[in-house]
């Protein structure tokens, strides 16, 4: 085969695969409009029409779209004539979009077409969980989410994208952009909770707790274990797992805001994460015979919470710059420890960005982040001591002590 023929065959095979994937999903959903056979035909029609249009006239592509639209309309008309009172239009729009995806494979790029096809399958398959999520979200949650979305869309573009204040560390646009980013990560955990409900299992409960707030998760389970000592194995596991996910968040934040520093910052932080995961696995073996429900987390998209983080982030930016100018590394370590007591995001974002611009070394950056993480462990242990039971305190203290020893060893022994 010649290269053009191979390209044509590749486009047809990819189109067929996407059509079969969506058709399989629609067949399982018992769609009466299109299923496992019809969807591949629609995708192939879009691809073939696009291929023909490149050598003849673009009207071929438009004619194909009109044909698919007419068939979908006729199928709905026939369905209504047979007494089926189904007013849904999801399958119909999926069919039209799939025709466009089939054409985009030829006229656009294969990569985005594959991504779009995958997104279509996921959206079609998650009908039940998405509907449950919408039902579970109350007026208060909806108002908070819409408030953040509107503020992000309206205010973010008009904020000045230039440095202000002492040391030029306050850039309103970048500060608010970090607020949107962090709330987006936390909101993903909240949405997962709303989709799957309260009884989601220990593993997912710890993951969601880490995504939303590992500190808030610690407070929640410490209070619950205070009234029921039998929950101590579960509480220790959830608290440790949420702390692991907090470290995963740190790596994600670095990868997004300062990808150039990831190679230098990730290895020691990943070792810390690996050690914490091993500790969490050991706690899971102890707690797997127990069951529990996760309390509903607070909506992280509240404007007050977002504004508080923005102010905290701005203060940490200034504190890091001031401490570095006045006291050198010692001052930065002190700021990291104080900031990490309740929140690791601000110090992670600020030090990663400073390392990316060369303001501080990558060694100093991961030292600061690791110290903040260790301070956060200490703060959460104090929370357990204050709010939790003795049994929970002993288990959490043992787990956190191992994590702190790992962090200390990295600070001392990791090569400069």
What is the rounded average pLDDT of the residues 109-136? 75
Verify that 280 and 375 share a domain, yes or no.
Answer: yes
Cβ 175 vs Cβ 302: under 8 Å: no
What are the beta bridge partners of residue 170? 164
Verify that 63 and 116 share a domain, yes or no.
Answer: yes
What's the mean pLDDT when you consider all of the chain?
A: 78
pLDDT value, residue 415: 78
Instruction: Give tens-digit pLDDT for 96-122.
Output: 888 888 888 888 878 888 888 878 887
Report the predicted TM-score, pTM, of the whole model to 2 decimal places: 0.63
Q: Which residues of 78-110 are buried (b: 16+ CB within 10 A; e: fewer)?
A: eeeeeeeeeeeeebbebbbbbbbbbbbbbbeee
- Domain of residue 104: give its range: 3-125
pLDDT value, residue 182: 66
Verify that 59 and 196 share a domain, yes or no.
Answer: no
pLDDT value, residue 273: 93
Verify that 76 and 157 share a domain, yes or no.
Answer: no
pLDDT category at 408 given cuts 50, 70, 90 is very high
Q: Return d(Cα 75, Cα 124) in angstroms, integer.
A: 20
Is the pLDDT reported for residue 340 higher than 60?
A: yes
Is the pLDDT reported for residue 370 higher than 90?
A: yes
Q: Mention every residue, 6+ apart, whose C-beta is less than 8 A from residue 120.
A: 22, 94, 97, 98, 101
What is the rounded average pLDDT of the residues 3-14? 80
Verify that 153 and 59 share a domain, yes or no.
Answer: no
Instruction: Give tens-digit pLDDT for 203-255.
Output: 666 677 667 677 777 877 787 777 777 778 888 888 898 889 889 988 988 99
Say if 252 falls within a structural domain: yes
Per DSSP, the three-state class of 197 is coil
Give how far Cα 41 sits from Cα of 45, 49, 68, 99, Å. 6, 12, 10, 9
Instruction: Give tens-digit pLDDT for 151-188.
Output: 677 777 778 877 777 767 687 887 777 777 666 666 66
Say if 133 falls within a structural domain: no
DSSP 293: -
Domain boundary among 63, 92, 125: 125
Verify that 218 and 89 share a domain, yes or no.
Answer: no
Verify that 101 and 153 share a domain, yes or no.
Answer: no
pLDDT value, residue 279: 93
Q: Return d(Cα 174, Cα 163) in angstroms, integer.
A: 9
Is the pLDDT reported for residue 88 higher than 60?
A: no
Say if 151 falls within a structural domain: yes
What is the rounded average pLDDT of the residues 141-148? 68
Verify that 162 and 117 share a domain, yes or no.
Answer: no
pLDDT category at 307 given cuts 50, 70, 90 is confident
DSSP 32: S
Q: What are phi and psi of 164, to 5 degrees?
A: -135, 170
pLDDT value, residue 342: 73
Say if 396 falls within a structural domain: yes
Instruction: Give tens-digit pLDDT for 242-262.
Output: 889 889 988 988 998 888 888
Say if 131 falls within a structural domain: no
- Alpha helices per DSSP H over 258-361: 262-287, 303-327, 329-340, 345-357
Say if 395 falls within a structural domain: yes
Verify that 374 and 243 share a domain, yes or no.
Answer: yes
Dihedral angle sign, alpha carbons of residues 94, 100, 106, 108: negative
Say if 130 falls within a structural domain: no
Verify that 90 and 157 share a domain, yes or no.
Answer: no
What is the rounded average pLDDT of the residues 71-83? 70
Element (H, E) at 267: helix 262-287
pLDDT value, residue 69: 82
In terms of pLDDT, which residue wins out, 21 or 371?
Answer: 371
Verify that 363 and 214 share a domain, yes or no.
Answer: yes
What is the rounded average pLDDT of the residues 36-54? 85
Verify that 87 and 207 share a domain, yes or no.
Answer: no
What is the rounded average pLDDT of the residues 380-388? 86
Say if 284 falls within a structural domain: yes
Residue 402: exposed, middle, or buried by beta-carbon count in 10 A (0-12, 13-18, 19+)?
Answer: middle
Is the pLDDT reported for residue 406 higher than 80?
A: yes
pLDDT category at 94 given cuts 50, 70, 90 is confident
Domain boundary among 81, 96, 125: 125
Share of the chain above pLDDT 70, in %: 74
Domain boundary among 65, 100, 125: 125
Total domains in the chain come to 2
pLDDT value, residue 402: 94
């Amino acid at each position: 085969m010649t290269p053009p023929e191979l390209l044509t065959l590749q486009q047809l095979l990819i189109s067929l695969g996407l059509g079969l994937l969506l058709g399989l999903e629609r067949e399982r959903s018992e769609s009466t409009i299109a299923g496992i056979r019809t969807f591949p035909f629609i995708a192939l029609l879009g691809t073939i029409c696009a291929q023909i249009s490149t050598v003849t006239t673009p009207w071929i592509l438009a004619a194909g779209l009109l044909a698919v639209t007419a068939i979908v309309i006729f199928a709905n008309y026939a369905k209504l004539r047979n007494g089926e009172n189904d007013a849904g239009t999801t399958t119909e729009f999926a069919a039209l979009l799939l025709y466009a995806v089939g054409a985009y494979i030829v006229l656009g790029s294969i990569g985005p077409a594959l991504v779009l096809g995958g997104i279509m399958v996921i959206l079609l398959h998650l009908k039940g969980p998405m509907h449950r999520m919408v039902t579970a979200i109350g007026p208060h949650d909806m108002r908070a989410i819409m408030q953040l979305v509107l503020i992000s869309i309206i205010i973010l573009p008009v904020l000045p994208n230039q440095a202000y204040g002492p040391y030029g560390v306050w850039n309103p646009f970048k500060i608010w952009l970090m607020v949107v980013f962090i709330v987006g990560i936390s909101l993903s955990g909240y949405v997962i909770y709303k989709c799957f409900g309260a009884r989601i299992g220990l593993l997912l409960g710890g993951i969601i707790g880490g995504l939303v707030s590992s500190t808030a998760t610690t407070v929640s389970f410490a209070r619950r274990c205070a009234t029921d000592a039998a929950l101590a194995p579960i509480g220790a596991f959830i608290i440790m797992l949420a702390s692991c996910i907090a470290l995963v968040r740190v790596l994600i934040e670095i990868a997004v805001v300062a990808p150039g520093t990831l190679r230098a910052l990730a290895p020691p932080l990943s070792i810390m994460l690996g050690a914490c995961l091993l500790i969490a696995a050991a706690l899971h073996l102890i707690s797997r015979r127990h069951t529990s429900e996760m309390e509903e987390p607070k909506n992280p998209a509240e404007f007050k919470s977002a504004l508080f983080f923005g102010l905290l982030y701005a203060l940490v930016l200034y504190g890091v710059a001031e401490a570095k100018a006045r006291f050198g590394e010692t001052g930065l370590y002190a700021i990291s420890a104080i900031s990490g007591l309740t929140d690791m995001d601000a110090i992670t974002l600020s030090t990663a960005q400073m390392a990316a611009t060369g303001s501080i070394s990558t060694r100093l950056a991961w030292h600061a982040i690791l110290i903040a993480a260790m301070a956060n462990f200490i703060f959460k242990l104090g929370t357990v001591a204050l709010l939790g039971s003795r049994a929970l305190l002993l288990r959490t203290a043992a787990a956190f002590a191992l994590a702190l020893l790992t962090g200390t060893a990295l600070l001392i022994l990791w090569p400069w």
